[in-house]
Structure 1
Amino acid sequence: NHQAALDFLVEGLEAGGYLPADSLMAIGHRVVHGGEAFHQAVRITPKVRAAIDAATPLAPLHNPPNLLGIDACLKRWPKLPQVAVFDTAFHQTLSASAFRYAIPDEAYRRYGIRRYGFHGTSFASITHQVAAVLDRPKERLNLIVLHLGNGASACAIKGGRSIDTSMGMTPLAGLVMGTRSGDLDPGSVFYWMEHAHLSLQEMDHILNQASGLKGVAGTNDMRDILLRTGEGDVAAHLALDIYVHRLRHYIGAYRAGLPELDALVFTGGVGEHAASVRSMACRELHHLGIELDEERNKSPRGGILNIHAASSDVPIMVVPTDEEGEIARQTLDEVLGGGAT
C-alpha cells in the first residue's frame, strides 16, 4: 500500500544518507483534478482534502490514489507543510466562452460539465522556462504549447495565462493520443453503441484505451508508427496523418486567438523526441509566420532547442517539460507565503 511504499522508500533514502533527518521543509503533491475550487497550489488542510475528495467523480481513477499519497505523507510527517499542486489549476483562467459547452445550463450548474483541461503543471513549467529564455515577463508572453506524449494536449497561452486548451471535461477530448480518440462527434458514439450493442463501460474502454494511434495502427508507440510508416505500412501512415492533421488544426485555431505569438513549443515524449512529427506539424505554415529549419530540427536532443528557420517570424522551440521542478517551485512559493507565481 501507499504507506508501506513510502516508509520503505524514505527509510532507504535515510539509511543511504540521501535524506538527512529534519531536512525536508515541505512536500508537494501532484493532484490531477481540483474542479473549480482551486486556481493555484494550496496548503493541504482538512477542508482542502475534503474538496479534493469531492472532485473524485471528475477523476475517479486519479484523485483517490492522490489522496492515499497525501494521507501517507501526513501520517509520517504530520507537522510538515503539505501542498497540493493541481493539474487543472492552470486552466482556471479560461473565459466562460472557452470552458462552457453549448448544452443546457443545468448540466454545468448541477453536474459541473465544462472544459477543465489537463497537463497544467507541464504548461506552467514551459511558460516559466520560455519566459526565462526569451528574457520576457510571463505576463507579456504568448505561446502555443503542444504537450505530446501518450496523452497529448495543446494550450494557447496569452499573457502567461491559459486562454484555451484541447482537453475538455476529461482527458479524452482534443488531440489524437496513444490510446484515446481525441475529438469525436458525440452522435457517432450513440450510433456506434446502438448498432454494435455496446455498454457504456465497453464504449468508455474503447475510446480511452483502444482508440487513437492504437485504434488505427494497432500500436500506441509513436516510434513503431514512424518506423512502419517508413516501411510503407498503410495503417501506420494513416494513423500518423490523422495525428498530424489534428495538431495542425489546433495550431491554426490557437494562432487565430493570439494577437502575437512569441513561440510555438513542443514538449512531452513525442514532442521532444520525434523530429519528423514536428516537421510534419509545421509544414506549409509559413502564412502563419511559422517556418521550421529541418537541419536544426534534427539536431541531437539536449536542453532547450530553437528549431525555426532564420526567415521564421515565430520562434519554434523544443522545451523539455519539468513537472517535478514546477511542483517544487509552486510548493516553495506557497510555503513561503507568496502563492504560486
Structure 2
Amino acid sequence: MSSDNLVLVLNSGSSSLKFAALDPESGHESLSGIGDALDGPKPSLEWKYRGRRHARQLEPGAGHSAVFSFLVALLQEELPELENRLIAIGHRVVHGGEHFSHSVLIDRKVIDAIKECASLAPLHNPPGLLGIRAALEAFPQLPQVAVFDTAFHQTLPEHAYLYALPYSLYREHRLRRYGMHGSSHRFVSERAAELLGTPLEETNIISAHLGNGASMSAIKGGASIDTSMGLTPLEGLVMGTRGGDVDPGLLMHLGESLGYSLERINQLLNRESGLLGISELSNDCRELERAAAEGHRGAQLALELFCYRLAKYVAAYTVPLRRVSAVVFTGGIGENSSWIRERVLQRLGALGYRADTELNARMRFGAEGAITLADSPIALVIPTNEEWVIARDAAEIVAGRAP
C-alpha cells in the first residue's frame, strides 16, 4: 500500500545525521540522505531524489546543524512539492530512560525528559534535541513525534535490566540497563520472521546492530529480553570510538592513580576508545579492513577484538533464548562487511555455525538473506530500516492510533 502522505524522519547518530521523506505505508523514500563523519576532518553529505544521487564535501568540523540547515533549504526552496505532503516529523531519540515505553507526540514535557536523559547518551541525545528544536522552528505547523531507542527494551525482565548494586540505586535513581538501537532491532526481528516464514511470536532472534555504535539484542517473540548496551551506550560490544565492557576498577585507577578527571575519562570512553583506540588509526571499519590486509598490526588487533566480543555475546544470548531461529547482522558494518561476518561465524563453530563464503560475499549494499550453509544454524543479513519504523509510528500517532 502507498499514500500521498510523507513523514520526514531525522535520525541523529553519534557521527551522522540521516534524513528521509518517506511514505509510512509502503516505506518508499521520495528523498533520502546522510551527513556522515560529522564533527571530523572530512564530513560529507549525500542525498538522493528521483533516482539521482548528489554529494558534496562539508567544511572540516561541520556537524549536525549544518546538515539540517541544508535539508530545510532543500525542502523549502527546491522541493516544496515534498514539503506540502508532509504530515509529521519523526525523530529518533536514543535515550528516554523509563519515561517512555512507546513513541510519543513531542511537547515541552517530552523535551524536558529527553534533556534529563542527555547525560546517559551524551553523543546522541544532544544532537537529537538540536534536530527537534530546529524542526519545531522550521516546521511549526507539523506534529513532531519522538521514537525512542530505549522503548523497545522496556520489555526486559527485571533480572536482565538490574545491575547487582544496592537496590536503592534503582529505586531512587533508576540506575539500570536500558539498551539502545531499539528501532533497528525491532525492524530486523520483524523482517527475520517474514524471511523465515514463521509467526513473529514464535521467532527467536539474536540481532547484531553493527555500526559506529554497536549493540546486541536477544528478541523472543518480538520482545527484547536482553541487550548489550546498558544505562548508557558505553556498555557491551567494541564500537567505533567506545570500548564496550571494561572493569569499573579501571576507571577508578585512571582517576586515583593517573590523575584523570571525570571529564577526561568521559572523553576517553566516548571518543578515544574502541576500534580507534586499539588501532591508533581509525574508527572506520572499511579503512581498518584495508589496513589490516596490508599488515597494519593495530588494525588487525582492533578487528580481532571486535569479532571476539561479538561472538561471545551471540553465544551468551543462547541462554535467555534457549532456541535461536536466526542470528541477524545489520547496521553499516553488519550489512556490508562479509569479512567481519565470516570471522564471527568461525568463532561460533562450537554452536554449529558455518558460513557460506559465496553467499556471504554477495550480501552487501542492500542485499538480504541467509549467509550460512544448509546444514548450519541460520545467520541472516537484513538491512535495517529505522526510518520506516519511525515513519510508521509517527503516522499512527498523527492518526490517533498509538503504536
- Asked if Structure 1 and Structure 2 have the same fold, meaning a TM-score greater than 0.5 normalized by the shorter chain, the answer is yes
1:241 aligns with 2:304: yes
| Corresponding position of 1:253 | 316
| Equivalent residue, structure 2, for 1:83 | 145
Query: Structure 1's 336 and 108: CA in aligned 2 closer, same or farther, altered over 3 A?
Result: same
* 1:293 partner letter: D
Cα distance in 2 between the residues matched to 1:64 and 1:297:
37
Equivalent residue, structure 2, for 1:58: 120
| Distance (whole Å) between structure 1 residues aligned to residue 127 and residue 212 of structure 2 | 20
Q: Which moved more, 1:154-163 or 1:286-295?
A: 286-295
Structure-2 change in CA distance of 1:130 and 1:18 (3 Å): farther
Partner of 1:99: 161
Number of the residue aligned with 2:373? 309
Query: Is the CA contact 2:121–2:233 (under 8 Å) kept in the aligned structure 1?
Result: no
> Could you tell me how far apart the structure 1 residues matched to 2:235 and 2:394 are?
29
Report the Cα offset of residue 303 of structure 1: 2.4
Task: Provide closer, same or farther for how the CA distance between residues 18 and 91 of structure 1 changes in structure 2, counting only shifts above 3 A.
Answer: same
| Equivalent in the alignment of 1:292 | 355
Identity among equivalent positions (%) equals 48
Tell whether the 8 Å contact from 2:75 to 2:83 is kept in structure 1 after alignment: no
Could you report, residue by residue, the CA deviation over 1:240-286 in whole angstroms, capped at 9, with x for unpaired residues? 22211101110100012213211111111111111111111001534
Q: Describe how 1:317-328 pairs up with structure 2 within 5 A.
A: 317-328=380-391
- The superposition leaves residues 131-182 of structure 1 with CA deviations (integer Å, 9 ceiling, x where unpaired) of 3323333222210111111111111111111111111111111001111111
SS at the partner of 1:30?
A: strand
Look up the SS of the partner of 1:28 in the other structure. strand
Give the structure 2 partner of residue 222 of structure 1.
285
Task: Indicate how the Cα distance of structure 1 residues 48 and 197 shifts in structure 2: closer, same or farther if over 3 A, else same.
Answer: closer
Equivalent pair of 1:144/1:265 in contact (CA under 8 Å): yes
Q: SS state of the match for residue 91, structure 2?
A: strand
Q: Is the contact between residue 216 and residue 236 of structure 1 (CA under 8 Å) also seen in structure 2?
A: yes
Residue 202 (structure 2) aligned to one of 112, 135, 140? 140
> Which deviates the most, 329-338 or 253-262?
329-338
Aligned to 1:209: 271
Deviates more, 1:215-224 or 1:258-267: 215-224
Tell me whether 1:182 sits opposite 2:244 in the alignment. yes
> Deviation digits for residues 307-335 of structure 1, max 9, x if unmatched?
110111x2211111111111111212222
Name the CA distance, whole Å, in 1 between partners of 2:209 and 2:65: 32
Deviation track 1:105-155 (CA, whole Å, cap 9, x = no partner) reads 222223322111111111122122223323333222210111111111111
SS of 2:362 mapped into structure 1: coil
Equivalent pair of 1:2/1:72 in contact (CA under 8 Å): no
Cα distance in 2, alignment partners of residues 288 and 2 from structure 1: 42
Match of 1:171 in 2: 233
Matched, 1:67 2:156: no
Question: Of 75, 93, 107, which residue of structure 2 is paired with 1:13?
Answer: 75
Distance 1:76 1:221 in 2: 33
Q: Is the 8 A contact 2:104 2:397 kept in 1?
A: yes
Match in the other structure for 1:339: 402
The question of whether the paired residues in 1 share the 8 Å contact of 2:149 and 2:180 is answered with yes
Answer 1 or 2: which has greater helix percent: 1
CA deviation after TM superposition for structure 1 residue 21, in Å: 6.0
- CA-based RMSD of the aligned residues comes to 2.4
Question: What is the alpha-carbon distance in structure 2 between the residues aligned to residue 220 and residue 68 of structure 1?
Answer: 24
Deviations 1:8-28 (A, max 9, x none): 644532443453564222221
Name the CA shift for 1:300/1:3 in 2 (closer, same or farther; >3 Å): closer
Deviation larger for 20-29 or 37-46: 20-29
1:2–1:298: structure 2 CA closer, same or farther, 3 Å change rule?
Answer: closer
Structure 2: distance between partners of 1:187 and 1:278: 32
Matched, 1:152 2:214: yes
Distance 1:205 1:4, change over 3 A: closer
The alignment status of 1:119 with 2:207, answered yes or no, reads no
SS in 2 for 1:147: strand
Choose between structure 1 and 2 for higher RCO, CA contacts under 8 A separated by at least 6 residues. 1
Contact 2:311/2:347 (<8 A) preserved: no
TM-score (norm 1): 0.90
Q: State how far apart, in whole Å, the 2-side matches of 1:75 and 1:185 are.
A: 44
Residues 149, 12 of structure 1: alpha-carbon distance in 2 compared, 3 angstrom cutoff: closer
Cα distance between partner residues in 2 of 1:21 and 1:167: 36
Q: Which amino acid aligns with 2:383?
A: P
Is 1:192 matched up with 2:254? yes
